[in-house]
Every structure is written in C-alpha cells, then in structure tokens.
C-alpha cells in the first residue's frame, strides 16, 4: 500500500443485470471524467441457497453484460474487477468464465486475468476445525445456531466464502488486465484498488457501500445504469454519468441502509464501517461524502453453505366465492389436517420426510403467522399449497392429495360441490425443484486473508494452449 497522492476514480455497475440500452454513452462520460478501475459485483445470496446448493446458474449472461465496460477499460488501459456467478461457487464461476472466454475470442481480446476462486474444499475446513478454529454463527437468531462442526461441513453440498479486498489486491499487484472472482464481499471489490493506492479503509469501504449496486443508489435508481466516484484521503464525490439520473443526498444516504442490520454500523472482514458521523454535501456535479470511520476487528470471512432438504411441489388455487373467502384459513387448515392424519402420509410427516404448509396471498401469504393485520381477505385470494418431501414422487403425491381436499373439500354454507376454487395452472401439481437451506452461515477466522484464495493468472481466450502464467 502506498500513501495517496492522486484521487482514485471508480466506475461501478452490477454485472448480473443487463445494462441499459444507452450505457456506452454513459461509460464514455465517466471516462471523460477519468477512470482508474471498473468494478462490478455479480454475486449474492439475495435469492436464497438454491443456486449455491444445486450448482445451477441463473440465466443471465454476465460476460455479455460486462462487454461495453471491458471494451472501454481495455481501450483506456485500466483494470477491471468483477465477481461472477451469483452463488459464486466453482461451478458458477467456471460457467461465467466460459462465457467470458467466448467473448474474448469473439472480440479479439488477449487479456491477462487474475481468477480468484472462493469455494472452500471440505478438507480445508475440516482441518481448520480440527486445529481448533472457532467458527461461530454470523449473528444471533439469523441462520444456523451453534459453532460449525465437521458434521456440518460434511452435510453441506457447497461452501463459499465472501472474500475481502485482500485477494483482489494481491491479484492486481501482479499487473493483470482484470480480476474475476467467485463469491465476494461486494464492497471489498471496490475497496481493493483504492487501498492499494493508499486510500484509508474507511473511505474505501464507504465508497464501496454506495457504489456496490451501480445506479441503484441514484435517483431514479436503476441497477442497469452505472455510477462514478472519485476517492481521496478524506472522502469522495459521487456522480451520475447518466444525465437523466442524479446522485442526491437522499438517494445516497438511503442506499447506506441497504442490506444492513444496524443503521450506522456494518461488520466486514477485518473491521467495522461506522457511518454515525458521515456527512453528505451537494456539489456542483454530485455529492461529497466524508466522515466515515473504520474500527479494526479480528479478521473473519463469512461462510455460506447449502444443504439439500428435499424436493418441492406446489398446487395453486384461486378463490373468489364470498362464503369460502370468509373462512378461507379454516378451509385450508382442514385440508392440511386431513393430509397430515391420512394413513398414506402421516408416517412421513412424523419422521420429517414430508412438510406441508399453505400460503394465502390476500390474507397472510407474505408474513404467515406473523401477519399483524387480522382481517378477512379482499374479493379474491390465491392459495398456494407448498409441499417439501424427501423425493419428487412423494412431494407430488402429497400435493395432489392436498389439492383434491381443497378443490372439493366441504365448508359451512357451501352451495355447490364444484366451482368454489379454480385451478389457474396445469398440471395442477407443479414440480418446482430441489430444496436447499443455508446450513452454514458462519464466520471463519483467518490470519492470512489471501492464503486460502490465491489468484491463478490466466490469459483469455483459453484453450489454444496452456496459457496459465502462475498460481
């Protein structure tokens, strides 16, 4: 790390969202102001553990999304830093690297990339636990309870770590054209080059917090747009390259609350970002941000591990009959009770091989039993029977049983034996997917933030010969 002399200018965006149609104009505007690094996050756990556990990839061509940004970065001789693959395990990262490889070949690019993988092998974690590492839950009441055990590690299908800025910094120091990682701390991607150039962690982390979701922090917010900032030793200025959007005090302060349990504190690897004294002042061109503090902490990285729980099948019914709507929860409870007590399914429910629940959208579909508004439904409701079983056959059989009990089940004041609930989709039993849970959501202590995540410097396009330069 060096003492800061010149500002560090970042162009940020989100690479798992397709860019706006006019993005190349806005990229050119940002480069007109000056850009030292192009950064985009493309991993997250927003959508739950399914992709991590299954190894499947969201149908978003992240390589195509980064094309205009990589083109500009290469033309101006500045590095780019991306995380790829949403869940960010090796399977997801490799699928994205294959897309990137094809893009490089199509565009005629010959680039040196530091590839940083963040999936952790089970033997590595088992060895750490055996050596006495205390891997504790990330927070009380959120996710799995208790310290991580060897059994937890073995039960998980995949485990990734949210790497901090240090592995990216190590890759950038090797003079690569770009760095591509798997699962990573979003703000860590943005912190890497500024910290290499002597920007204080507080400033780098605060800027990363505002830039991590691209144009979402602007007004109007749109993650298909990009965002720009210039960092110095005391703070940074944020601007919008798109003249139809603005970086306002309100939009930026609002984004500081994004994905954080505490209004002013955010725990990160090696430290806590404290924004209690942060200031946001409008400038002629954007907003100047100062006052962040960085509180040193023991270095830990968050682990995310997913474990298979079963297979999900659902049935959906639409209800508009007034007498049924007035007692819709009693009606679904009765159907569930019949299913649970049936000879065919009672044993599977008792030993945990089958779980059944019903959501009523229009009554309590979002919060379930925690719904504070105790009222009847409106003029219609959607009823979703949710079944999770040890295998697909059992899930579908139980879902059909429950559907039939709802479709023809009696209730007080029923006037006809049919037509009281409608089936909007065929088949009436909809097979969904395998079901996974976050079985690991723990903090792994590290003495060396880089050692578990070494960069493999590789030239793209790959495949014509062995082009790896080192590990």
Domain ranges within the chain, ordered by starting residue: 8-118+162-299+446-470, 308-438
pLDDT of residue 464: 57
What SS3 state is found at 29? helix
Model pLDDT for residues 59-115, shown as the tens digit of each residue:
778 999 999 999 999 999 999 999 999 999 999 999 999 999 999 999 999 999 999
Distance (Å, rounded) from C-alpha 349 to C-alpha 338?
12
Residue 43 CB contacts under 8 Å (≥ 6 apart), including other chains: 16, 83, 84, 85, 86, 87, 88, 181, 182, 183, 184, 186
Contacts for 344-352: CB closer than 8 Å, 24+ residues apart = 344/397, 344/401, 345/398, 345/401, 348/389, 348/390, 348/394, 348/398
Distance (Å, rounded) from C-alpha 192 to C-alpha 4?
14
> Is the per-residue pLDDT at 22 higher than 90?
yes
pLDDT of residue 261: 82
Out of 3.30.70, 3.90.550, 1.25.40, 3.40.50, select the CATH number for domain 308-438: 3.30.70
> In this predicted structure, which of 36-40, 59-63, 204-208, 270-274 has the lowest mean pLDDT?
59-63
**Segment 354-367 mean pLDDT:** 94
For 265-294, give the secondary structure using H, E and C: EEEECCEEEECCCCEEEECCCCEEEECCEE
Burial, 101: exposed, middle or buried (Cβ in 10 Å; 0-12, 13-18, 19+)?
middle
95 or 144, higher pLDDT: 95
Alpha helices in 268-391, H assignment, sequence order? 322-325, 328-341, 346-350
Per-chain mean pLDDT for the chain: 94
Burial, 374: exposed, middle or buried (Cβ in 10 Å; 0-12, 13-18, 19+)?
exposed
H helix or E strand, kind and range, residue 355: strand 354-361
H helix or E strand, kind and range, residue 165: helix 165-172
Sequential DSSP letters for 211-228: HTTGGGGSBS--TTS-EE
> Is the per-residue pLDDT at 331 higher than 90?
yes
Model pLDDT for residues 194-210, shown as the tens digit of each residue:
999 999 999 999 999 99
pLDDT of residue 466: 46
> Is the per-residue pLDDT at 468 higher than 70?
no
pLDDT of residue 5: 67
pLDDT bin (cut points 50, 70, 90) of residue 368 is confident
């Amino acid at each position: 790390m060096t003492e800061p002399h010149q500002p560090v200018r970042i162009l940020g965006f989100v690479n798992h969202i397709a860019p706006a149609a006019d993005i190349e104009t806005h990229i050119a505007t940002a480069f007109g102001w000056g850009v030292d690094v192009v950064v985009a996050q493309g991993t997250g756990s927003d959508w739950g553990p399914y992709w991590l556990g299954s190894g499947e990839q969201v149908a978003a061509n992240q390589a195509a999304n980064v094309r205009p940004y990589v083109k500009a970065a290469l033309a101006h001789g500045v590095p780019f830093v991306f995380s790829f693959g949403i869940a960010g395990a090796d399977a997801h990262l490799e699928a994205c690297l294959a897309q990137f490889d094809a893009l490089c070949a199509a565009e005629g690019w010959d680039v040196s990339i530091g590839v940083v993988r963040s999936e952790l092998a089970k033997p590595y974690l088992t060895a750490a636990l055996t050596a006495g590492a205390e891997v504790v839950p990330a927070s009380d009441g959120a996710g799995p309870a208790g310290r991580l055990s060897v059994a937890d590690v073995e039960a998980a299908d995949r485990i990734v770590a949210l790497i901090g800025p240090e592995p990216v910094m190590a890759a950038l120091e090797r003079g690569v054209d770009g760095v591509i990682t798997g699962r990573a701390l979003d703000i860590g991607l943005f912190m890497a080059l500024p910290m290499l150039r002597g920007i204080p962690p507080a400033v780098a982390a605060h800027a990363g917090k505002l830039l991590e979701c691209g144009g979402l922090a602007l007004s109007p917010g749109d993650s298909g747009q990009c965002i720009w900032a210039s960092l110095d030793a005391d703070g940074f200025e944020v601007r919008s390259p798109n003249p139809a959007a603005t970086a306002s005090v309100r939009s930026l302060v609002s984004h500081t609350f994004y994905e954080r349990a505490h209004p002013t504190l955010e725990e990160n690897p090696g430290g806590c970002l404290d924004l209690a004294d942060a200031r946001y002042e409008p400038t002629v061109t954007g907003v100047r941000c100062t006052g962040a503090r960085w509180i040193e902490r023991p270095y830990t990285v968050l682990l995310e591990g997913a474990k298979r729980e079963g297979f999900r099948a659902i049935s959906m019914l639409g209800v508009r009959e007034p007498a049924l709507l007035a007692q819709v929860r009693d009606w679904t409870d009765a159907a569930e009770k019949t299913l649970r007590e049936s000879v065919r399914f009672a044993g599977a429910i008792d030993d945990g091989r089958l779980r059944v629940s019903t959501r009523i959208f229009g009554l309590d579909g979002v919060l379930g039993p925690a719904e504070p508004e105790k009222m009847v439904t409106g003029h219609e409701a959607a009823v979703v029977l949710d079944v999770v079983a040890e295998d697909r056959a059992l899930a579908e059989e139980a879902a059909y049983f429950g559907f039939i009990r709802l479709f023809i089940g009696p209730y007080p004041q029923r006037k006809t034996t049919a037509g009281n609930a409608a089936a909007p989709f065929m088949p009436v039993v909809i097979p969904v997917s395998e079901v996974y849970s976050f079985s690991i959501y723990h903090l792994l202590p590290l003495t060396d933030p880089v050692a578990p995540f070494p960069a493999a410097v590789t030239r793209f396009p790959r495949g014509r010969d062995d082009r790896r330069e080192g590990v």
